[in-house]
Amino acid sequence: MSQNQALFERAQRSIPGGVNSPVRAFRAVGGTPRFIKRGEGAYIIDAEGKRYIDYIGSWGPMILGHGHPAVLEAVQKAALDGFSFGAPTEREIELAEEIIKLVPSIEQVRLVSSGTEATMSAIRLARGATGRSKFIKFEGCYHGHTDALLVKAGSGLATFGHPTSAGVPAEVAQHTLVLEYNNVAQLEEAFALHGKELACVIIEPIAGNMNFVRAAVPFVKRLRELCSEHGALLVFDEVMTGFRVGLASAQGHYAKLLPGFKPDVSVFGKVIGGGMPLAAFGASREIMKQLAPLGPVYQAGTLSGNPVATACGLATLREIQKPGFYEALGARTRQLVDGLAAVAMDNGVPFSVDCEGGMFGFFLMPELPQNYQTVMKTDGARFNAFFHGMLDGGVYLAPALYEAGFVSAAHSEADIQATLQAARTALR
């Protein structure tokens, strides 16, 4: 028995499924999860000492790679001063100021400890600010595991959703409308039917949990128009895309294509914590004044603004602002996806790819999908074979075909070439 197998069997005796987040269990792809011992730069090393080129990067936060010297120094220094105080620190202000400086739509920020907590709080804030209960989400977008968000589409057009998890009461799900991503007609119908009752629409502007699927520009434009017309708040969930696809995040990308565009509320995580548990939500001062202690919308957290996490996040944000950072990151990511597409073509395998900044996705189909239903048509068996072929070749991809991938500043030319060589072998 391998060390990874032994650890997995041991883990299953004390942890449900042997993991603390379901995708890590390898249930989607089969086989034994790799238990990671350490990370260094673009690599992770498992319990048996095998090194992998890492394209998960802790699901996005490790934009600088593992163990970046400036981040390590900041974390070590902060830890010496204390792990947690339950009282304000100056570094919380510095991190908030940094986010506000980089994201024009935000005037104030509240720090929390996880993306799930941030999206939950953002929806509560929208409900409190508008006095409305219903909201829209989109099939294939993941916004955390709170009850109102674990909901799938109903059977009819613009209908209310149904719970996707046991333990979620139907009474909670009844306030959630679940629509098809990139479907303008369905969006218009939902607003025509329920516009006066909608507190907000929450969306991943580039979905990363049905692999990598962009919101089409006409769709985003109409979404912004409808929210403004009906008094609903537009919530951009940038937990994954925030500072990952560009310095101004995904909303900055859409603002270039739609002059004047901005969401009402933004949610961030992952990169802003640099790998530590940290997330945030922010909006205009007018909206944010609804939060306690100023307003009636309650939100709190013992570890919110944790001094070690804020040190890690602040050091990360400062590094990614250095000249040429995103140009180099984007070029490396493009080199990877174009190379994968070429390898697939050489082997006669249907393959489509897309990327933005340091985030990418690929599909074993000839054209990029625009919604979850199309993503579901991907050849799962072929993906699983490809995943294990890449794993055997020392390349660690997401262990599920519905997850985006991530490139870091630590990935080198040699890493990309090694990845493409592994792909040639796996696709044969």
- From 237, 264, 354, 415, the catalytic residue: 237
55 is catalytic: no
Q: Is 43 a catalytic residue?
A: no
Tokens of 389: 């072929």
| Angstrom distance (rounded) from CA 400 to CA 370 | 18
161 Rama class: left (phi>0) / alpha (psi -120 to 50) / beta: beta
359 vs 214: CA distance, rounded Å: 12
Give the tokens for residue 377. Answer: 């048509």
Q: Which of 43, 52, 55, 142 is catalytic?
A: 142
**Is 225 strand, coil or helix?**
helix
| Token digits of residue 343 | 């390898």
Tally of CA atoms within 13 A in the half-sphere of 82 that contains its CB: 10
The whole-angstrom separation of Cα 198 and Cα 179 is 14
Give the DSSP letter string of 306-361: -HHHHHHHHHHHHHHTSTTHHHHHHHHHHHHHHHHHHHHHHTT---EEEEETTEEE
Element (H, E) at 138: strand 134-138
Asked if 237 is an active-site residue, the reply is yes
Pairing of strands 359-363, 151-152: unpaired
Catalytic-role residue among 270, 372, 396, 415: 270
Phi, psi of 282 (to 5 degrees): -150, 165
List, by residue number, the catalytic residues: 142, 237, 270
